[in-house]
Structure 1
Amino acid sequence: MTVFPRPHREDVLISAAGLLGGVLLWALGLHTQGGRGLPGLWVLGPLVAISLVELVRRSAPRTALLVATLALVADQFTLGSVATVAMFTDIVYAAVLYGSPSAARRIPWGTAVVTVTFTVAALSWLRSPEALLFGVVVAAITIAPATTGVLVRNHRDAAEAARLRAEQTTLLAEMDRTQAVTAERARMARELHDMVANHLSAIAIHSTAALSLDDARTTKDALAVIRENSVAGLAEMRRLIGLLRDAGDDREPAAAPTLRALDSLMEQARTNGASSGLVFALEDRRGDGAALPASVEMAAYRIVQESLTNALKHAPRGTVTVALELSRRALRVEVASPYGDRPGPRAPGSGAGLVGMRERVALLDGAFEAGPVTADDAGGTKIWRVRALLPVDEESGTS
């Protein structure tokens, strides 16, 4: 048993108005067939039937169209009612508007076929040009509402498609905004870690040494290094805060670190690592006049900086070597430090440094590797090696 949903309010109003209008026309004696057809109450049968199917014009448009067609045919055998014809046109319109897509395509063609067939039959039967008027009437109650339904449905579908596109555009914009915020937060985290971690690591190491060793000279030297690194770290923090505050202004951005500052970075590492027995050496094989993109220089500088910081935190006594080599296609950055157990104070590590280096290289579509390897010397000692390959434009470097 088919259970139809509750009728829509507008459908109830259309049904009631059509039924009351048809009864009023019947009471006034206004009919479409003149004196022909079944007299009396017979005209109310098709009227009641088609007014009832108006209630399901949205929920069951195909069933409503079938019953309405039968009611219209039955109405032709009575005195006829204009209300029945008017409600039939509304049901044809509703069948196209609320029916399935296939029904919306077939009904207009079906009404055209019915109109042409009826017109040809009328011409054959009456053999008079007046038969064309019957074709016009049939087209008015079939083709016209079907075409109107197609136009309204296309407009509704276009509006729905535009709404969906707007929602998708909004969703994509929100996704882009979220990704941009996430990328900016990751960039800020890398910058903050790279700028401050080096100084804080030196402060942690030397403050631990000052507390653990009962020697006035060692304590004084440690405090001097601590002060130097705290002042430098504070300056770096102020620079980062200035960058964040000035992000929306039209001012020139602060200069990003470049490889020209490697000498100062190495000198600072030598100062911080002297108490740990670390020696730092720079092998710059890039050649003279090597010009690199700013993004490559900054990434290389930060990789060296973080590698030196990790060496200060974890490496035992020995030599930390920084090597730079430039080819036509890439800049190779390699930092090798002693690997093994380290006596004395150590600064804790978070593991974010390796993640930041890997992210910097990935942003440039380069290659990155870090981990313990066996050195090429005769003793086969273990070293911790960081190696990054940063692509550059062919015209950026020199061979």
Structure 2
Amino acid sequence: MGAVTLPRPPHRHDVLMSAIGLALGLLLWRLGLHMQGPQHAVFHSDWLMLVPLLVVAGLELVRRTLPRTALLVGTLALVADQLTRGNIATVLMFTDLVYAAVVYGTPAAARRIPVTTGLITVGVSLGFLAWWQEPEGLLVGVLTGLVSFAPAATGAIVRAHREAADAARLRAEQTALLAEMDRREAVVAERARMARELHDMVAGHLSAIAIHSTAALSLDDPATTREAMGVIRENSVEGLAEMRRLITLLRDGTGHEEPAPAPTLAGIGALVRQAETAGTAGGLAFAWDGPPPQDGGAPLPAPVELAAYRIVQESLTNALKHAAPGTVAVALDRTDEALTVQVTSVHGEAAPDGPRAPGSGAGLVGMRERAALLGGVFEAGPADATGGGRIWRVRAVLPVRKDDKEPSA
């Protein structure tokens, strides 16, 4: 058997209105205050006046849960009340039923009831004016409008305001939700950017430290150990300095130091020389063609130069970790449309000799993200085989849009 749904209890305000209306009606009935004289009533019994009053008072309890039923039955009760001497409390409670039917009823009912009551008001006014042939006939229409059309129009206005408030509240909630989503996306993007910067700035130095510390521990040669310790110290100092610069930036301007300028292509030569010092123990040699010519003296956009610098930096770090003995070649080619960065190294079939630092795989992800942010293309993988080994190539094409170029001095 299905679950039985119990009727919802009446609202406390509805109970209060029903009790007040019933008490007022009984008081008027007891005092003998009626709406019309005995000559206009069809039923003269005073006890019959209480039937419409009790019915309408009971309908007040379901004005929210059954607004349509309450209005239909209340209309019949109002007509019955007019056949007696009438009670003003019955009429007042009926106007509340009309109001509730518009406010709590269906959207279709909320549209139809004001129109219907308006037509009834006009029809009653014209009908009594034509019947009585006196201007007083319009007063009947006015009273009809006060009982039916006025509460219906008030209910329509209140419902419209409530719907507008609900719509505004929904828009505010949606706006807050979108703002929270944007904030989270911004936080995630900022964390990813910070992770790329931290990895690119420190990974090279730590790789060199790991390689030379392994060499110092594995080789029993005082000269080699001293040279390795010198490289370790140099990379430690440089890595610490870069970490300090990054921390200064993360302080959001609360530090006293000026932020370090973003790396440019002019610093790639120093990167190559640093990698050459760190890669000597692994049998690596480095070749650098030099920065591309500045066609017409127009500088590259800062984001493009930073991305190219970081891609070269991470490629050299990966070469220190994974490349077999041989030459690591760095080449840059610039056109009006794009800057091409290419780093090649020998990647042997077997594990290379000499100490190597472990890798996490985050470098390739960071390089690919940097290229994607600029709308470029990134490739990393084996190229043509030469000399019995495989050539590992990292290639990035970074677009240079004309509207992104900085004006030349």
- Which TM-score band (shorter chain)? over 0.9
Measure, in 2, the Cα distance between the counterparts of 1:12 and 1:98.
16
> Aligned to 1:373, which of 373, 383, 386?
383
- Give the aligned partner of residue 362 of structure 1: 372
* Contact 2:248 2:259 survives alignment (8 Å): no
- Give the aligned partner of residue 28 of structure 1: 31
- Give the aligned partner of residue 303 of structure 1: 311
Matches within 5 A, 1:200-349: 200-247=206-253, 253-284=259-290, 286-288=292-294, 289-340=297-348, 341-349=351-359
Measure, in 1, the Cα distance between the counterparts of 2:152 and 2:286.
87
* Contact 1:284 1:325 survives alignment (8 Å): no
**What is the deviation of 1:3?**
5.2
- Is 1:37 paired with 2:45? no
Over residues 324-373 of structure 1, what are the superposed CA-to-partner deviations in whole Å (9 max), with x where a residue is unaligned?
Answer: 11111111111111112311221111111111111111111111111122
Over residues 173-231 of structure 1, what are the superposed CA-to-partner deviations in whole Å (9 max), with x where a residue is unaligned?
Answer: 22222222211111111111101000000010111111111122211111111111111
Measure, in 1, the Cα distance between the counterparts of 2:355 and 2:279.
12
Matches within 5 A, 1:147-158: 147-158=153-164
* Contact 1:4 1:60 survives alignment (8 Å): no
> Aligned to 1:10, which of 9, 13, 32?
13
- Give the aligned partner of residue 114 of structure 2: 108
Measure, in 2, the Cα distance between the counterparts of 1:248 and 1:9.
59
Measure, in 2, the Cα distance between the counterparts of 1:250 and 1:18.
76
**What is the deviation of 1:277?**
0.8
Measure, in 1, the Cα distance between the counterparts of 2:58 and 2:190.
64
> Aligned to 1:130, which of 132, 136, 142?
136
**What is the deviation of 1:84?**
0.7
Over residues 256-295 of structure 1, what are the superposed CA-to-partner deviations in whole Å (9 max), with x where a residue is unaligned?
Answer: 1111101111100110011111111122462233510111
- Is 1:53 paired with 2:56? no
Question: Identity of aligned pairs, percent?
Answer: 64
Measure, in 1, the Cα distance between the counterparts of 2:218 and 2:399.
46
| Structure 1: gaps of 5 or more residues | none
Query: Structure 2: which amino acid aligns with 1:109?
Result: V
Question: CA 1:353–1:136 in 2, change beyond 3 Å: closer, same or farther?
Answer: same
Segments ≥4 residues shifted beyond 4 Å = 248-252
Measure, in 2, the Cα distance between the counterparts of 1:133 and 1:254.
87
**What is the deviation of 1:73?**
1.0
**What is the deviation of 1:117?**
1.9
Query: Structure 1: which amino acid aligns with 2:77?
Result: A
Measure, in 2, the Cα distance between the counterparts of 1:196 and 1:250.
23
Secondary structure (helix, strand or coil) at the match of 1:76 reads helix
Question: CA 1:70–1:119 in 2, change beyond 3 Å: closer, same or farther?
Answer: same
Measure, in 2, the Cα distance between the counterparts of 1:136 and 1:73.
17
Query: Structure 1: which amino acid aligns with 2:375?
Result: D
- Give the aligned partner of residue 66 of structure 1: 72
Measure, in 2, the Cα distance between the counterparts of 1:216 and 1:139.
110
Query: Structure 2: which amino acid aligns with 1:353?
Result: G
Question: CA 1:127–1:248 in 2, change beyond 3 Å: closer, same or farther?
Answer: farther
TM-score by length of 2: 0.92
| Structure 2: gaps of 5 or more residues | none
- Is 1:383 paired with 2:391? yes
Over residues 128-169 of structure 1, what are the superposed CA-to-partner deviations in whole Å (9 max), with x where a residue is unaligned?
Answer: 221111100000111111111111111112222222222222
Measure, in 2, the Cα distance between the counterparts of 1:279 and 1:198.
16
* Contact 2:269 2:290 survives alignment (8 Å): no
Secondary structure (helix, strand or coil) at the match of 1:332 reads strand
Question: CA 1:17–1:250 in 2, change beyond 3 Å: closer, same or farther?
Answer: farther
Measure, in 1, the Cα distance between the counterparts of 2:31 and 2:247.
88
> Aligned to 1:169, which of 164, 175, 179?
175
Measure, in 1, the Cα distance between the counterparts of 2:183 and 2:175.
12
Measure, in 2, the Cα distance between the counterparts of 1:250 and 1:163.
45
Secondary structure (helix, strand or coil) at the match of 2:8 reads coil
Question: CA 1:19–1:156 in 2, change beyond 3 Å: closer, same or farther?
Answer: same
> Aligned to 1:99, which of 93, 98, 105?
105
